[in-house]
Amino acid sequence: MSVRIRSAVRADTAIILALIRDLADYEKLLHEVVATQDDLDAALFCASPKVFCLIAENGNGDALGFALYFFSFSTFLGRHGVYLEDLFVQPDARGQGIGKALLSRLAQIALDNQCGRLEWSVLDWNTPAIEFYRSLGAVPMEEWTVNRVTGDALATLANGADE
């Protein structure tokens, strides 16, 4: 199968949202998706975007998957990194090298921008993804725990910053 990896354009916003919803459904988290096309348009295609998206498509231009990423920073390395927020390939297109092609393009973006690393998170139950990532040389950071503050806790923490 012929696969093309390209940067997303504004006309892809509906496709990106559909792929995000497909990913969330796969992860059993569809109920958490509140993003809208307007949200994605504002984030991805503003004057100074902080987040970027790659689309994998077949020869007919059908979207087969996506990778949404942003630049992070490592104080230890003193260099930026690329953080892969989401990677998804449609189930019927898996096993054809699309995920690897998306990750390869991200690795090239990291190198082109003198980044020190490419990193991402994966759900601990997603064994196929974990095995795939390990086959590419990814090393799980098992000693690290992701922390998150959202909603009311985020507002409470922000209000406490003024004290």
pLDDT of residue 157: 94
Active site residue 133: yes
* Best CATH choice for the domain 3-160 from the list 3.40.630.30, 3.90.650.10, 3.20.20.70, 3.40.50.1100: 3.40.630.30
H or E segment to which residue 20 belongs: helix 13-26
What does the domain layout of the chain look like in residue ranges? 3-160
- Cα 45 to chain centroid, rounded: 16
Q: In the chain, what is the greatest distance between 2 CA atoms, to the nearest angstrom?
A: 59
pLDDT by residue (tens digit) across 56-97?
999 999 999 999 999 999 999 999 999 999 999 999 999 999
Across the strands, what pairs with 80?
A: 73
Q: Which residue has the tokens 């949202």?
A: 17
pLDDT of residue 2: 87
If we measure between CA atoms, which residue out of 65, 30, 121 comes closest to residue 129?
121
pLDDT of residue 161: 64
Q: Which residue has the tokens 């690795």?
A: 107
Q: Which of 26, 69, 83, 133 is catalytic?
A: 133
**pTM, 2 dp:** 0.93
Cα separation of 61 and 100, whole Å? 19
Secondary structure (3-state) at 40: helix
Q: Are 19 and 63 in contact (CB under 8 A)?
A: yes
| 65 to 6, 17, 38: CA distances (angstroms) | 11, 11, 20
Cα separation of 114 and 71, whole Å? 11
DSSP state, residue 27: T
pLDDT by residue (tens digit) across 101-142?
999 999 999 999 999 999 999 999 999 999 999 999 999 998
Q: Are 73 and 101 in contact (CB under 8 A)?
A: no
pLDDT by residue (tens digit) across 18-44?
999 999 999 999 999 999 999 999 999
Compute the radius of gyration of the chain from its Cα atoms.
Answer: 17
User: Does residue 163 register a pLDDT over 60?
Assistant: no
